[in-house]
Structure 1
């Protein structure tokens, strides 16, 4: 994994905060469907919800809606399937699934359509159009972008209220799906999601 801090202007950081907040809204619009249907398979969720989400959030690009669906699928998998999660399906039994609520500081997932790195320049999607950052990459890091396949690109808020990007590259022989153990070592619920138990 490669982590890169984003040192942008105040306007750029404001754009990233707005995107993060909008991304959380899309995730929160999808979470009740997961709760009701007990389905968090990414492909099935896409078929169930993509059109509705695009209509409800026209300002959000089509690919970012896909990335929000991925985020909800990934987080649901962790909350409902990880053996150490207190909300694991085997513990819940026939009880209704709890509802996931994503905070305004939840990670934002990108892909090759919404973020690109070329010659030390990073270009990324926001609600205000694409913004660009200069990246001071080491030669080995630069080579990773050309030689390895990206599995995930995640924008996260830092403790100092800034932002950083994490690039997770596939290792040789690895599949696209992130193993549950790799997502969260102890099955802890991420700080950016609240779990509301059904009454």
Structure 2
């Protein structure tokens, strides 16, 4: 069983600006890596890490080592959705002999966190920014707190809502669920697409554009 817990962040203007800056640099890392995926046709997260982590870390030292890993995960996940999902019009099987389209991430793209870059303590949430940790008061119902203790944390995603409020989404799965879906800390094969396996073109998120090479 899957669970979703959303936590809006009550940010000051200064905190909001810091999160926007973090998101913009995160998108820059994704856009640095996306052409490499297009050219090499390699999007396995572990393979991408071995091939590109050091160069990305050297080019974006301000983002920190773990957030660079999370950006690699973001590109890997989106590449699987675009290039590998059965219903995708850009599935590699539909492009024999043709170059892959290029993925471009907007500055509004989500930022992925993990247990190294975000922590939860009783009454408090702490997350990484490029200017040090940012802390927020955290008030959760008892049933939601129990989920954090009993379920497996799959992903943590930071998005900005239409009302300009930043919100963290925690995706969890039952503790007895088989380990068949990759999370930020996961290490499974590219075949583990989870819910993205049947994603049509209309489900491609707005923050990603797909640029098809001219024929």
Could you tell me which residue of structure 2 aligns to residue 66 of structure 1?
69
Q: Which runs of 5+ in 1 are unaligned?
A: none
The superposition leaves residues 135-181 of structure 1 with CA deviations (integer Å, 9 ceiling, x where unpaired) of 22001111222222211000011111221111011222231525535
The equivalent position to 2:210 in structure 1, one of 185, 195, 198, is: 195
Measured in 1, the distance between the counterparts of 2:122 and 2:78 equals 33
Structure 2 contact 86–198 (Cα < 8 Å) conserved: no
Residues paired across the two proteins, number: 199
Please give the root-mean-square deviation of Cα atoms over the aligned residues, in Å: 1.4
- Corresponding position: 1:40 with 2:55: no
Could you tell me which residue of structure 2 aligns to residue 180 of structure 1?
193
Quote how far apart the aligned CAs of 1:185 are: 5.9
Q: Secondary structure at the match of 2:94?
A: helix
Q: 1:119 to 1:62 in 2, by over 3 A?
A: same
Could you tell me which residue of structure 2 aligns to residue 168 of structure 1?
171
The equivalent position to 1:55 in structure 2, one of 49, 55, 58, is: 58
Q: How does 1:93-104 map to 2 (within 5 A)?
A: 93-104=96-107
Could you tell me which residue of structure 2 aligns to residue 144 of structure 1?
147
Quote how far apart the aligned CAs of 1:121 are: 0.5
